[in-house]
């Protein structure tokens, strides 16, 4: 890939103060070679330079939880009760072909680029997003879902998972990692959780899990009651063992919590749960828009951050929130937790990067990191003090350019 130099009215590294009249030099390996004031960034002979007046160069946004394989599903599921919504989504997916999922995934990845999102942490079971990211040059980690609520089916579920992972790993690259996701306590038995954790450890795979999202989930694990219990009883599935735990404590009992585990949602957590997540060095994918739309309530974001837990932002799915509008998540997170604009932007960039295990290589404009860069139009009046505010309340239409490893993946026509 050729080296290039990008300049703009402002460069916003996120992990350092905004730079007026700044520039970024990208090496031929796709990594940042220099970043700083325009006059201090080298202009190597033969390296093309592009300048963006009235614009801000910043790191690409990082989506810590997405379901891009569901792009285009908006409006097709209308169930007020979460358990019924989950079942409707499963039935809807069963009507889709492999090509349908590939089309949805490609569209989702392209929408992400256009919204300034250059990395996603995708959770799904079709494998389509792996293909789309590979084909379109996106960056991400794709967590292959595994299901199996009956404790007797764990061996079959793990065997199926191992086969899927073996196929997906053929597409793994410096841009694309494969992980595993035992879906949630209402779809995965205790024995299956333990088996998947062991498999992930043996294979060196990252792991993600939906956890502590709904009251129905908490009721199932605490008292063996509620909507999920009704579904399990109808299918002759025994209750989770043992009862009496919070969702987070139940995961701990089954050997799931550990460094790098991505805990998706984490809404219904108390002080003891937060302490446990912090001690086990888990991270959290916070999806405030989806949480609100499903009526699940507000995750205690401020308490999670104060406990030292790494938190990133996710959009969930188009049928829950949106495909790619990560800044909408950042704005709501700011409102609910009393964050500054800069803190909200950090959640959507370096915070998400750290939450999904890419914290050393993306999420900020620093020498040595990948040149995953976004240029946002900004019509004057920006100062260092108003930079974060301007970015936070910008729109997709402001995105001029998005690159992954220095290669254009979106350019506004």
For 225-269, write each residue's pLDDT tens digit.
Answer: 999 999 899 999 999 989 999 999 999 999 999 999 999 999 999
Coil, helix or strand for 413? coil
Residue 320, pLDDT score: 82
Q: Give CB contacts under 8 A, 24+ apart, made by 203-206.
A: 203/165, 205/165, 205/178, 205/179, 205/180, 206/141, 206/143, 206/177, 206/179, 206/180, 206/260, 206/262, 206/356, 206/357
**Closest listed residue to residue 73, CA positions, set 275, 320, 305:** 320
Tell me: pLDDT of 75 over 80.
no
Which domains does the chain show, CATH number per domain? 4-59+364-411 (2.30.40.10), 61-355 (3.20.20.140)
Q: Which residue has the tokens 């879902």?
A: 145
Written as one string, the DSSP assignment of 250-319 is HHHHTT---TT-EEEE--S--HHHHHHHHHTT-EEEE-HHHHHHTT-----HHHHHHTT-EEEE--B-TT
Lowest mean pLDDT among 61-75, 263-277, 336-350, 356-370: 61-75
Tell me: pLDDT of 190 over 80.
yes
Q: pLDDT band at 80, cuts 50/70/90?
A: confident
| Cα separation, 95 vs 304, whole angstroms | 39
Residue 73, pLDDT score: 83
| Cα separation, 205 vs 22, whole angstroms | 38
Tell me: pLDDT of 306 over 80.
yes
| Overall average pLDDT of the 404-408 stretch | 98
- Estimate to the nearest angstrom the gap between the alpha carbon of 53 and the chain centroid: 31
Percentage of residues of the chain with pLDDT beyond 70: 100
| Overall average pLDDT of the 120-126 stretch | 97
Residue 84, pLDDT score: 83
| Cα separation, 165 vs 90, whole angstroms | 21
Rounded to the nearest integer, the mean pLDDT of the chain is 95
Tell me: pLDDT of 79 over 80.
no
Cβ atoms 69, 105 nearer than 8 A: yes
Residue 250, pLDDT score: 97
| Overall average pLDDT of the 62-86 stretch | 86
Residue 243, pLDDT score: 93
Residue 341, pLDDT score: 98
Q: pLDDT band at 338, cuts 50/70/90?
A: very high
Tell me: pLDDT of 88 over 90.
no
Tell me: pLDDT of 411 over 90.
yes
Residue 123, pLDDT score: 97
| Overall average pLDDT of the 383-407 stretch | 97
Percentage of residues of the chain with pLDDT beyond 90: 89
**Closest listed residue to residue 316, CA positions, set 292, 297, 337, 289:** 289
Tell me: pLDDT of 321 over 90.
no
H or E, element range at 62: strand 61-66
Digit-coded pLDDT (tens) for 12-23: 999 999 999 999
Tell me: pLDDT of 1 over 80.
no
Residue 134, pLDDT score: 97
| Overall average pLDDT of the 395-413 stretch | 96
Tell me: pLDDT of 109 over 80.
yes
Residue 271, pLDDT score: 98
Q: Quick check: bond before 242 cis, omega within 30? A: yes
Cβ atoms 372, 405 nearer than 8 A: yes
Tell me: pLDDT of 76 over 80.
no
Q: Which two tokens stand for residue 119?
A: 């990395």
Q: pLDDT band at 4, cuts 50/70/90?
A: very high
């Amino acid at each position: 890939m050729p080296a290039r130099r990008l300049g703009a009215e402002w460069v916003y590294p996120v992990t350092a103060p905004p730079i007026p009249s700044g520039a970024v030099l990208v090496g031929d390996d796709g990594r940042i070679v220099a970043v700083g004031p325009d006059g201090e960034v080298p202009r190597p002979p033969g390296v093309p330079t592009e300048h963006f007046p009235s614009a801000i160069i910043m790191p690409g946004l990082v989506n810590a939880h997405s379901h891009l394989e569901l792009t285009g599903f908006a409006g097709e599921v209308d169930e007020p009760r979460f358990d019924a919504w989950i079942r409707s989504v499963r039935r809807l997916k069963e009507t889709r072909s492999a090509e349908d999922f590939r089309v949805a995934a490609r569209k989702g990845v392209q929408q992400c680029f256009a919204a300034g999102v250059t990395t996603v942490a995708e959770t799904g079971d079709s494998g389509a997003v792996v293909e789309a990211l590979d084909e379109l040059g996106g960056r991400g980690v794709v967590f292959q879902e595994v299901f199996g609520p009956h404790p007797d089916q764990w061996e079959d579920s793990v065997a199926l998972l191992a086969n899927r992972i073996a196929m997906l790993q053929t597409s793994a690259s410096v841009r694309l990692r494969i992980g595993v996701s035992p879906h949630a306590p209402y779809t995965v038995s205790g024995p299956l959780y333990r088996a998947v954790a062991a498999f992930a450890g043996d294979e060196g795979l990252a792991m993600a899990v939906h956890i502590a999202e709904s009251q129905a989930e908490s009721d199932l694990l605490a008292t063996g009651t509620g909507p999920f219990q009704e579904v399990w009883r109808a299918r002759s599935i025994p209750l989770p063992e043992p009862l009496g735990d919070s969702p987070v404590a139940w995961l701990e009992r089954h050997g799931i919590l550990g460094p790098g585990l991505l805990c998706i949602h984490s809404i219904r957590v108390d002080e003891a749960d937060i302490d446990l997540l912090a001690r086990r060095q888990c991270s959290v994918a916070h999806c405030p828009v989806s949480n609100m739309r499903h009526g699940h309530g507000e995750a205690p974001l401020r308490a999670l951050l104060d406990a030292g837990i790494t938190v990133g932002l996710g959009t969930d799915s188009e049928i829950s929130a949106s495909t790619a509008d990560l800044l909408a998540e950042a704005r709501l997170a700011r409102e609910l937790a009393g964050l500054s604009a800069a803190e909200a932007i950090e959640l959507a960039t370096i915070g998400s990067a750290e939450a999904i295990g890419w914290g050393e290589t993306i999420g900020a404009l620093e020498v040595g990191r990948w040149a995953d860069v976004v240029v946002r139009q900004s019509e004057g009046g920006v100062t260092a003090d108003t930079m974060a505010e301007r970015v936070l309340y910008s729109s997709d239409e402001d995105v001029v350019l998005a690159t992954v490893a220095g290669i254009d993946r979106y350019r506004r026509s």
